[in-house]
Amino acid sequence: MSGLSGMTFALLSAWGALTGMDLVTFPQALLSRPLIACAGAGVILGDVATGLRVGVLLELFALDVLPVGASRYPDYGPGAVAAVVLASGGPWVEHLGIAALFALGLAVVGGWSLLWIRQVNGRMIQQAAAGLAAGDPGTIAGLQRRGLAGDLIRSLGLSAAALLLAQALHPVLPGGPRFALVTAAAVGAGVAAAAGGAIRAAGRGARLRWLVVGTGIGLIAAVLT
Amino acid sequence: MTSGFLRALWRLCSVQGAWNYERMTGVGMGHAAEPLLEDLKSADPARHAEASVRSAEYFNSHPYLAGLALGALVRAEYDLVPGPQISRLRAALTSPLGALGDRFFWAGVVPTAIGLAIMGVVAGYGLWTIAVVLLLYNGLRIATGVWALRTGLASGARVGTAIGESWLPGAASQAGLVAGLIVGLAVPLAADWLLDPQGLAAVGVAVVTLLAGLGAAWRLGPRITAVKFGLIAIGLALILAWGLP
């Protein structure tokens, strides 16, 4: 899927931007989750199956993350959308692990860009100190608009850059059965991430017991199916 | 005050729009408060000006529950509660609303929704699962937002009591248990689905990586994040795969 048409590139960029904004600013409607972001990218690309595979794998890593207030967290959305482009159009078993590596790297870059936009917002607020001290509704509305616009630019820029990178890398992706082992390692790392996060969140109380029961049933179901 | 309810509700959807380290969600709260404070402008212009200044001061909470604080603070302005008392109420609501929302939504409802979505995808329901989960999650989120703003506006300075007597604290505790069960179910099914067409060698590589990850988490604690471990493990696997004949 290296040769995206202009319309597909625009649609994927817009979708990636929306998933990026969704994480913190607007609308916080679960669109930034990798599974949702990748499913949307799969629909746009006409390759839903690859979108869902990439999305489920990345969710294993994202389940560990709580986007709590001022803490640092990765921004999965734009990178996840581009990872579907990278994995699409080839044997997913060989490309899924590489796509996950690509998406995780971009999630880190996305996290850094969130820190940057917060600092930009802080500088705008310092510049608007007089209006805020006077309680001017126009100043408050202007700051809000510029904050949203800044995040839109951040998310759109990240999405477009990630898509260009995915397009450039797609033709040179390594192939062959041995790269299925990279996918296997990615699945193992994802399960470790999800399990580590779930155990940490469960603590030692009732939630841990429910987690153990769920895992037991899940393992039995996985073996039987 | 009621005329601005819907506009305030809409603006609360982007309450973190200008998030920053100085005022956190303060600017978003001020923006959302403006439609609710409009009636005060004609009734008491001096009080409106004071209220506008206070509305954009430092604030932070879970974004979906910010309506509880917004409603309570606006109601307190209309009730002519002294300014310093309103500022104290604002500060006092920060931690409880953050903790409750994080427990209920981020650590409960979100992992449950995603776990259910994963199970639906693995079971072959694909995009239907995604659509249903998105509808249910956002239905709950919107209903919570409406309830929060209404409860805040109705309670004013007594919002703490209203929250304590509401469904929220109990639901926050239960949501974590459900999330534990659903995530526990979903993760093995997801791994099986992703490894299914591959052979025993792939399963072996996945198990070794899993054990290495759990070992790293046990030894290094929060210093090794999911993303860091993923980058290291997949990167190493890629280098090794390249070197294989």
3-state SS, one letter per residue, for A161-212: HHHHHHHHHHHHCCCCHHHHHHHHHHHHHHHHHHHHHHHHHHCCCHHHHHHH
Best of B187, B192, B236 to disrupt the A interface (most A CBs within 10 Å) is B187
pLDDT band at B220 (very low <50, low <70, confident <90, very high): confident
Q: Do A59 and B214 touch (CB under 8 A)?
A: no
State how far the alpha carbon of B87 is from the alpha carbons of A4, B35, B110, B222, in Å: 53, 20, 32, 35
pLDDT band at A202 (very low <50, low <70, confident <90, very high): confident
Q: Do A36 and B134 touch (CB under 8 A)?
A: yes
Residue type, B71: G
Of B189, B210, B231, the CB nearest to A104: B231
Query: If you measure CA to CA, which chain A residue comes closest to B209?
Result: A188
B189 vs A69: which has the higher pLDDT: B189
Nearest CA-CA partner of B141 in B118, B113, B177, B182: B113
Phi then psi for A67, rounded to 5 degrees? -75, 65
Report yes or no: B223 at the A interface, CB cutoff 8 Å: no
pLDDT in tens, B55-67: 999 999 999 999 9
pLDDT in tens, A56-105: 999 999 997 766 666 778 999 999 999 999 999 989 999 999 999 999 99
Residues of B in contact with A53 (CB under 8 A): 194
DSSP helix/strand/coil, B210: helix
Q: How far is A50 from chain B (nearest CA, A)?
A: 11
Report yes or no: B197 at the A interface, CB cutoff 8 Å: yes
Please identify among residues 85-144 of chain B the ones whose CB lies closer than 8 Å to any CB of chain A.
98, 102, 106-107, 110-111, 113-115, 117-118, 121-122, 126-127, 130, 133-134, 137-138, 141
Quick one: average pLDDT of A154-165? 98
Q: How far is B150 from chain A (nearest CA, A)?
A: 20
Q: How far is A112 from chain B (nearest CA, A)?
A: 13
Query: If you measure CA to CA, which chain B residue comes closest to A175?
Result: B242
Residues of B in contact with A218 (CB under 8 A): 184-189
Report yes or no: B3 at the A interface, CB cutoff 8 Å: no
Best of B13, B20, B129 to disrupt the A interface (most A CBs within 10 Å) is B20
Q: Do B194 and A26 touch (CB under 8 A)?
A: no
Q: Which two tokens stand for residue B78?
A: 């209309």
Report yes or no: B50 at the A interface, CB cutoff 8 Å: yes
pTM for the whole thing?
0.95
What pLDDT is attached to residue A61? 96
Q: Do A57 and B194 touch (CB under 8 A)?
A: yes
pLDDT in tens, B91-116: 999 999 999 999 999 999 999 999 99
What pLDDT is attached to residue A180? 95
Q: How far is A4 from chain B (nearest CA, A)?
A: 23
Residue type, B90: R
Nearest CA-CA partner of A103 in A71, A151, A60, A154: A60
pLDDT of residue A1 exceeding 60 = no
Report yes or no: B9 at the A interface, CB cutoff 8 Å: no
| A184/B206 Cα distance (integer angstroms) | 5
What pLDDT is attached to residue A64? 76
